A and B are shown apart, each in its own frame.
Chain A
Amino acid sequence: MAVDGFFITGVVICLVSALICIVAAIIRQPPNDITILAVAAVELFLLVYGVAAVFRQLGGEPVAGEAWEFWGYWITALLVPVAAFWWSMLERSRWSNLVLGAVGLTIAVMLVRMEQIWDMAGTAL
């Protein structure tokens, strides 16, 4: 599996974001600027990743798997941080930080799958 910079950057952002949110929950903080910005960073990365993916495809680096499947994952991934933000704002308890932390973990898994579709490296899933 040709692991590219985008993929590594994305996974690192996701895991750091999840870690920040989980630590905030452990020290009994309700969602604050830091945890919300951590989730926003994941969303921002996804936007950059999507724009870059368009240019990569136009620039002769096509998706090896199904392109619509890749973009399906991307659109779903974009909605996850937004939905989690909405759900966590309805009740600002420490537990809502774990909801925000679930974003990073979920998106990290989705990035792995998107990378697999891009490279057609693993079709196990």
Chain B
Amino acid sequence: MKAKSGTMSSTSPAGRESEQEQAGGAVRAEQRASGPGRLIIAVYGIFAVSATARAAYQIATKFSAAPAAYLLSAFAAAVYILAAVALAKKGLRWFWTSVAAISVELLGVLAVGLLSVFDAALLPDDTVWSGFGKGYGYVPLLLPLLGLWWLWRHRPGRPGMR
């Protein structure tokens, strides 16, 4: 597999070559970390870092105040890290790992969002996913939808790509 056969610059011979490579189905499936995928991975990376820092801060300074919320923060951080790494890696196993991680992320943001609406007392302190991620401009809600759409478009053996 070509490692970095992305779209360099569309005018150079190398660029045209890589576009032809992309036409092959197998190679296409390996373009998850290319083009718009790089932005998706970058945003996952930002959330991985910020969620980890936030969870570490909460657990280190005030864990006893709301243990459930802070453990949830730590879990969310782990999901973001896994998703960012899995999206950036090649291969079928990492593809399904990223599908699993992003699905868990989507379920998490929906479940915690609903919970914070209907039973705010259960999670007294904010997490990344509280209120469907409104503290983070609803990016936590949009990101998994975008991620799953991206993975669907770049699924292995996508028909019509060969």
Contact = CB atoms under 8 A, between A and B. Distances in A.
Interface string A84-99: 1001101111011011
A99 B33 CA distance: 13
Given A30-B8, A102-B39, A91 B45 contact: no
B120 to A, nearest CB: 15
B6 to A, nearest CB: 4
A92 B39 contact: no
Contacts of B46: 80, 102, 106
B7 interface: yes
B6 A91 contact: yes
B49 A95 contact: no
Nearest to A72: B53
B53 A93 contact: no
B20 interface: no
A99 B6 contact: no
A73 to B, nearest CB: 8
Interface string A55-74: 00000000000000100100
B158 interface: no
Contact of A69 (B36, B41, B45, B57): B57
A52 interface: no
B8 A84 contact: no
A83 interface: yes
B43 A95 contact: no
A98 B39 contact: yes
Nearest to B42: A99
A99 B49 contact: no
Given A91-B34, A93-B7, A96-B38, A125 B135 contact: yes
Contact of A93 (B8, B41, B42, B126): B8
25 contacts: A30-B8, A30-B9, A72-B57, A76-B49, A84-B42, A87-B38, A87-B41, A87-B45, A88-B38, A91-B4, A91-B6, A91-B7, A92-B9, A93-B6, A93-B7, A93-B8, A95-B36, A95-B37, A95-B38, A96-B38, A98-B39, A99-B38, A99-B39, A102-B39, A125-B135
Given A87-B38, A91-B6, A91-B8, 10 more contacts: A76-B53, A83-B45, A87-B42, A88-B38, A91-B4, A91-B7, A92-B9, A93-B8, A99-B39, A99-B42
Interface of B: 4, 6-9, 34-39, 41-43, 45-46, 49, 53, 57, 126, 135
